[in-house]
Each structure stands twice: as structure tokens, then as C-alpha cells.
Amino acid sequence: MKPDAPRHLRSRLGYGLICLVFGAALVYQFVRTSQMASEIAALTDTMGAATAELTADLHSLRTTVTQTNTTLIAALNNQQQNVGNIQQQLGSVQSQVGNVTGTVSTLQKLSQTDPELLKKYSKVYFLNENYVPARLTEIPNAYEYSSKKQLLYQTDALPYLEKMINDASSSGVTIYVDSAYRSFDEQKALKGDYKMTYGAGTANSFSADQGYSEHQLGTAVDLIPPGLGGALDDSFDGTKAYTWLAANAYKYGFELSYPKDNSYYVYEPWHWRFVGKKLANDLHNQGKNFYDLDQRVIDTYLASIFD
């Protein structure tokens, strides 16, 4: 080039070069930006797909958990129902065992209880002349009106008699036992004496014939308070002893066998018979007399007479 080449040509060349470089940079930048944009778009797509996949997985997991829960709850309910059924069956078996045990214990008690103890004996009902209670115990002297007589009483019923007299005493009411067990022969002798003294007609009105007396059972007693001079008559029902007995004797298992205006015997306010708490209580509550009940009804109380 000539040293004097026009300066403006050189500067134009330089300018064009700069423009070219700048244009190339712009193109590169454009290409690079486009590439990045497409990479971002691809990345966004990938992330979208991954998110969708995760969402689907999560949904599937939730469904599985829900299904598993439902299955477990159903299984648990089923088990609970089974346990309930088993408990019900067990309860039924236990109640059956209880019933059998109850029946066995009732039968045992019945086999050990004198069947005569709750039979009706009076003018109408006859007690075997050979009958003697299997268990008799002497009543302690403290309870006897006269220490001259040795009184016997049915062994199992004696604690009830003693408790009744003790409780009466605690309430300020003194009661003694004047007569208790009498054998067939004793009753026969007694009746014979009465007939001699009062004549047969009069004696029959207040003294049972042998075999018809509750005293032969060993569970009947003639009670007497002090102050009557040892005599037993209708005036007994005007005593504190009678008032207390009428209000309380049933609690100890005693009933008044021959109450006022009964149709089977003379009135004997002093004569009390042990029939067991349950029967005495029912008689008291229902206002009934022992001899008014049907024997079959009375028999249902035999097993529980000493309860």
C-alpha cells in the first residue's frame, strides 16, 4: 500500500472489522441464548414429567395405605367379633357350669337335710312314731327357764335360737326356753298326764297327740318370759316378749305355727318353730301362716333352711 493511501479507507476497514466482530458476538450470543432456552425447556419438561410421576406414585401409595388400613380395620373388627363370640360362649359355659354347681350344691344340701324339718305336723299331719331327729344338742342352761329340765334342740337350728334370744336380751327383752324337743314317748306321756288332769276333751284342745307334735322335730320351742309364774296361756301375747318375737322372730328363721284364729289348732302365742330365714321372711312379708302354704311350696325352701 502506498504510504499515502487514503486514511479514510483504513478507518473504514477498521470499522468494518469491529462491526464484523460485534456481529459475530451477537450471533454467538443469540445462538447460545437459544440453546439455553431449549435446554431450560427440556429441563422443565423433564421436571414436569418427574413431578407427574411422583404425584402418581404418591397417589398410588395413598391408595395402597388406605386399602391396607381398610383391610386391617376389617381384620381387627373381625377379630374383635371373634373375641366377642368366644367371650359370649365362655359366659354361657360358665353359667352352665354355675347352674350345674348350684344344682349339685342344692342336691348336696338336700341330701344332708332332714326332709321332715319342713313338714306340716298338727292334728292333720302325722309324724312317724319312730322319728327321732338325727342331730340334737342340749340347750345351754342360760337359755332355759328351768334348770331342772334338760332341753334338747335340733343341732343346726340351735345357733339361730341362741342368736334370737341374745338379741332380744340386748333389746331389754328377756326370753327363756320352756320346752323344746319332745320324743314320741314323752309327748304320749305328757298327753296322758293332761288327759288325767283335764279330761280327754280339754286335753285334746291344747295338747297334740303323740306323732302330731312339732316338738318331736326338735325345731319347735315354747318360749316364756319371767313374770308369768311359768304358766303358758293366751296372756303371753300381752308380754314384751311376744311383741318382740312377733316383730323380729322371722329374722332368725322362726314362725308362729298356731296364730290366733287359725283353722288347724288352738292359739299358741308361745310356740315358735324354726323353718329357716328365707321361708320365715316370706311368710312374714306375705302375711301368711306356715300351715296355710301348700306342702309342695314349703318343700322348695328345704335346701336353704340353714342358709
Q: Which residues bind Zn ion (CB under 5 A)?
A: 222, 271
CB of 267 to Zn ion, least distance (A): 12
Dig out the grid coordinates for 100 from the structure.
350345674
Whether 237 and 269 have beta carbons less than 8 Å apart is answered as yes
CB of 232 to Zn ion, least distance (A): 8
CB of 98 to Zn ion, least distance (A): 41
CB of 97 to Zn ion, least distance (A): 45
Whether 138 and 155 have beta carbons less than 8 Å apart is answered as no
49/44 Cα distance (integer angstroms): 8
3-state secondary structure of 137: strand
Main-chain dihedrals φ then ψ at residue 221, nearest 5 degrees: -135, 150
In terms of CB distance, is 144 or 222 closer to Zn ion?
Answer: 222
In terms of CB distance, is 110 or 136 closer to Zn ion?
Answer: 136
Task: Give 217: exposed, middle or buried? Use CB within 10 Å, 0-12, 13-18, 19+.
Answer: buried
CB of 119 to Zn ion, least distance (A): 16
In terms of CB distance, is 181 or 250 closer to Zn ion?
Answer: 181
18/45 Cα distance (integer angstroms): 40
CB of 222 to Zn ion, least distance (A): 4
Main-chain dihedrals φ then ψ at residue 259, nearest 5 degrees: -75, 175
Q: E strands of 130-219, at which residues? A: 136-138, 152-154, 176-179
In terms of CB distance, is 156 or 222 closer to Zn ion?
Answer: 222
In terms of CB distance, is 252 or 272 closer to Zn ion?
Answer: 272
In terms of CB distance, is 273 or 284 closer to Zn ion?
Answer: 273
